[in-house]
Amino acid sequence: MNFDFTPKQLAIKKMITEFVDSEVKPYADEADKEEKFPEKQIKKLAKLGIMGMSIPEKYGGAELDNVSQTIIMEEVSRGCSATAVSMGAHASLACHPLVNFGTEDQKKRFLPKLASGEYLGAFALTEPNAGSDAVNVQTTAVKDKDEYIINGNKIFITNGGTADLINIVATTDKGKRHHGLAVFTLETKDLKGFELGKKEDKLGLRGSNTQELVFKDMRVPKENMVGGIEGEGFKISMSVFNSGRIGIGVQGVGIAQAAFDEALKYIQEREQFGRKLHKFQALQFMLSDMATRIDAARLLCYRAAHVKDQGKRYVKEAAMAKLYGAETAMEITRKALQIHGGYGYTKDYPLERFYRDAKITEIYEGTSEIQRLVIAAELLGRGF
Amino acid sequence: MNIIVCIKQVPDTNEVKIDPKTGTLKREGVPTIMNPDDKHALIEAVKIKKKTKAQITVLSMGPPQAEEALREALALGADQAILLCDRAFAGSDTWATANAIGGAIKTIGNYDLLLFGRQAIDGDTAQVGPQVAELLNIPQITYAQKIETEKNKVKVERQMEDGYEIIESNIPCLITCISEINETEYPTLKGIRQAYKKEVKVWSADQAKVDKSKIGLLNSPTSVKKSFTPPAKGQGQTLKGSIKDIAKEIIDLLKERELTGGF
């Protein structure tokens, strides 16, 4: 049993903490209020090699272990959750299919550009009638000689309107249900038949881009089908989900920590009834419960990352980390706002932003209800 | 070109609290950082390296945990790192520290440029750089806000209170850098990975070939007699009213305190 980070992981933590405090956190409010995509921050993250953190060294990436990637996700989320989700959608969701399932040719063509940050990536599965219910994907891919003709639309796609490369899920044979799914890599520049639909106006993560994508007779070369064989799409999607869950769990931890840090500062400064708030035992208890809960959520996330690093099955661990991390974000942001009273409800303080940003962690990458189903399936066996 | 950058690991003084009773720093649990001015000196060395293919050696004296600051320096672009770590160095004042650092630099040898930070945030003396230059008998330029390297010489802007001097020197020479010299940088993931593949050499006083009669607490000519926290300044005074009234009141106040000089 060992709860310590390695010296290298600590060096990464120190670097990313300093970077986030100086280069990310100060711009979070502006990103939220002006719905400003954190382009500059993403460019700087790319310069540090972070956009390539999940990509093997061979293809220009940093090939970080999962614990290190989790450290980075937590810290960036603490500074600005909109920046964190834009980074995560790229480094975790978009890169994952190519890193783990791509052909050698696909890896060589796409990974160096994703690693350097020249390309921003996205992953598109969700449709009006399919999300966690991936089998119900309606977007079709019909083979025509050396190409696939793709029709359909995708919704709620993080980075959808800003990405240079999007891995989309489509069905090549509806009759085969999940065995008919495949993932296709799109390079969006000058791509005929590729259109942007509605940009979502969201409760939180307002600096991040969430976009509808429309495909009308869009032609994609067959060399861009990830892995090169039909029917792999469901397996790839489930793998992306699994891996992404740790990231969203720890995003919840990062948001919770940001809210907690504000609350801790506030109760030591604010006076009521002639004494500082931290002298009130009710608030001391609240603070202790908050810190304990954040730590519990954090440990679940790092445990899941550690199990993944060991190459073991981590489905249950990742689902638990995601479930608890997300619900922790909700509870801690609510309490931290409560500690701030009326001030917390105003836009003069970041608490209301944390509160809005936290909510999505209970929804995307599988809702909390889906996580409970996944955990139950692991506990009871697949045939329950 | 061979550059030696000297760095110090210091407590992050933003996080340090002073025990009002003992007057000493409460160091427990305080994070340590690479001294900010030293980091700027290192970043400058890396910039010179990019232009001239220089080799950078980073040198520090301190306890074993100072290795962390040296790893950070390697991650930022230094080529090799040496830590002077020996009980014999403990308690050295600036003179004894300069003897240790200077002695080690002689042992490393073959240097063109020695870069230091102006001063460390824990001691604020700004003495070690200049003392090392004297010891090695080489030119020194302090408070550098810009460095240009040419063949066998350097041109440096030296910050003054109301402007700057431009100083040219032959190399080898020693330069102390201020934070304005460059923007801060963060180690890249690639840099961190490489830093942990390299070795941080740990030298004892004997390995560094320093004169042991000139280092350590007992051989330090200065000693700290007492340290204390000055009492906080009182509240300022806010004047209200029209600009004219305020100006008059200020002049009256200055006269009252006999601060008007030649008025």
Note the pTM of the prediction, 2 decimals: 0.90
Please report the pLDDT score of residue B263 as a whole number: 54
Contacts of B186 in chain A (CB under 8 A): 15, 18-19, 48
Could you tell me the two tokens for A237? 């999607």
The predicted-structure confidence for A369-380, as pLDDT tens digits, reads as follows 999 999 999 999
DSSP B66: G
pLDDT category of residue B13 using cuts at 50, 70 and 90: confident
A68 to chain B: closest CA residue: B189
Q: Which of B68, B71, B189 sits opposite A62 (nearest CB)?
A: B189
CB-based contact, B179 to chain A, within 8 Å: no
Instruction: Please confirm whether the linkage preceding B187 is cis (ω < 30° from 0).
Output: no
CA distance B5 to B56: 7
Comparing A279 with B14, which gets the higher pLDDT?
A: A279
Query: Nearest Cα to B100, choosing from B203, B221, B5?
Result: B203
Least confident window among A228-232, A315-319, A379-383, B145-149: A379-383
Q: What's the whole-number mean pLDDT along residues A90-116?
A: 97
CATH of domain B2-214: 3.40.50.620
Q: Which of residues 182-201 of B touch A (CB under 8 A)?
A: 184, 186-190, 192-193, 195-196
Residues 59-118 of B with CB under 8 A from A: 68, 71-72, 75
CB contact under 8 A, A48 and B195: no
In the prediction, which pLDDT does A383 show? Answer: 54
Q: Provide the b/e sequence for B82-102 (b: ≥16 CB within 10 Å).
A: bbbbbebbeebbbbbbbbbbb
**pLDDT for the residue numbered B240:** 87
Read off the pLDDT of residues B65-95 as tens digits, 9 standing for 90 and up: 999 999 999 999 999 999 999 999 998 999 9
pLDDT (average), residues A271-288: 94
**Confidence at B9, pLDDT banded by 50, 70, 90:** very high
DSSP state of B75: H
Q: Which residues of B touch A19 (CB under 8 A)?
A: 186
Quote the pLDDT of residue A139. 97
Secondary structure string (H, E, C) spanning chain A: CCCCCCHHHHHHHHHHHHHHHHHHHHHHHHHHHCCCCCHHHHHHHHHCCHHHCCCCHHHCCCCCCHHHHHHHHHHHHHHCHHHHHHHHHHHHHHHHHHHHHCCHHHHHHHHHHHHHCCCCEEEECCECCECCCHHHCCCEEEEECCEEEEEEEEEEEECCCCCCEEEEEEECCHHHHHHHEEEEEEECCCCCCEEEEEECCCCCCCCCCEEEEEEEEEEEEHHHECCCCCCCHHHHHHHHHHHHHHHHHHHHHHHHHHHHHHHHHHHHHCEECCEEHHHCHHHHHHHHHHHHHHHHHHHHHHHHHHHHHCCCCCHHHHHHHHHHHHHHHHHHHHHHHHHHHHHHCCCCCCHHHHHHHHHHHHCCCCCHHHHHHHHHHHHHCCCC
What's the pLDDT tens digit per position in B206-219? Answer: 999 999 999 999 99
| B252 min Cα distance to partner chain A (Å) | 37
What pLDDT score was predicted for residue A370?
95
Between the alpha carbon of residue B5 and those of residues A11, A284, B60, B74, B79, the distances in Å are 20, 47, 9, 11, 11
The residue of chain A with its CA nearest to that of B74 is: A11
Can you give the pLDDT at residue A384? 52
Q: What is the pLDDT of residue B225?
A: 82
Instruction: Give the model confidence (pLDDT) of B191-203 as tens digits.
Output: 999 999 999 999 9
B256 Cβ contact partners less than 8 Å away, ≥ 6 residues apart: none
Does the pLDDT value for residue B163 go beyond 70?
Answer: yes
Mutation for testing the B interface, residue in A5, A6, A14 having most B CBs under 10 Å: A14
- Is the predicted pLDDT of residue B226 greater than 90, yes or no? no
Neighbouring C-beta atoms of residue B261, cutoff 10 Å: 6
Q: pLDDT band for B15, please (50, 70, 90 cuts).
A: confident
Task: Tell me the mean pLDDT in the region B154-175.
Answer: 96
**Per-residue model confidence (pLDDT) at position B19:** 72
Domain boundaries, chain B: 2-214
A residues 43..72 contacting B (CB < 8 A): 47-50, 52-53, 62, 64
Query: Which residues of A are known to be catalytic?
Result: 365
Mean pLDDT of chain A: 96
The question of ipTM being above 0.85 is answered as yes
